[in-house]
Amino acid sequence: MSVTAYIGIVAAFCTTVAFVPQIVKLRKQGGKDLSYPMLFLYLAGVLLWLIYGVQVHATAVVWANALTGVLVLVSIVLKANPPARKLDTGERRLRIAVDMDEVIADAFGKHLHHYNRSVGTNLTPQLVTEKGLGALIPVEQRQEFSSIPHSEGFFADVALIPGSREALLELSRNHDIFITSAAMEVPSSFADKFAWLETHFPFIPPSRIVFCGDKGIINADVLIDDRSRHFKGFRGTGILFTAPHNVAETAGFRANNWNDVLEILEGVQPGKAGAEAFSRKLSMNPAG
């Protein structure tokens, strides 16, 4: 074969396999930054070259453009069907911010217990999940219900959320853990919450305990919280921890327990999300 023929073969090979690295990247990362118009225009050009090759009986042109057309079509399909969303932890230590109430501390369970004892009802977290607080708390008792967490010593002896201590201890070996509570909503809780953390999470230093209002100020990679409103100003990734008041919310990442949190952070089940449904409008737990 002539030098010109070899040049043509090499050129056809290069333009054909050029899409292979792109396909590999599409499989791993998706094609968010890849342009549909470019892909379809490129495909149109390839198909025209294919027709031209058939017309002039140029076998190399036909095979090269036929294969290129297939690779472009694969790229379009992969772009239209991106891989499942994964939480990119990389190799570095993550900064993980963790809410307190309903994430590591069962404040709502104690809240319901005090309310039931006060008014003689028998509300349960499961009942709240099914019907919502708005349907269960009479209007004339809502002020009393809301005032319960403001009572002295309320947060001193709340129960641990199952698995929270073990999970945070495990995560603290490879990542930086910060406790971030919207404690400004109940300022009287500061001392009790701090003492509670010292008792149950002694491996988290005081310098990594943050009592705040707006969690948008938190500079972390991940925020684990039962209140999705805290994700709005947060620049990292939010994981919604399931609680009775948020079961109907849709979440990019939802954890029903601490095993789910660990699996999400490890990328085992990154797509764990809440179902599409309406959100309950009434939230009467000011201790969130």
The single residue of 99, 106, 192, 260 carrying the catalytic annotation is 99
270 three-class SS: coil
The single residue of 88, 101, 214, 226 carrying the catalytic annotation is 101
Kindly give, in sequence order, each residue whose CB lies less than 8 Å from that of residue 68, ignoring residues fewer than 6 positions away.
15, 16, 19, 46
Closest CA to 258 of 180, 175, 170, 127: 170
**Would residue 120 be called left, alpha or beta, if left means φ above 0 and alpha means ψ between -120 and 50 degrees?**
left
What is the DSSP track for 121-145?
A: ----HHHHHHH-HHHHS-GGGHHHH
Q: Is 101 marked active-site?
A: yes
Residue entry with tokens 């891989």? 83
The DSSP symbol for 244 reads T
Q: Is 176 marked active-site?
A: no
Q: Which residues are catalytic?
A: 99, 101
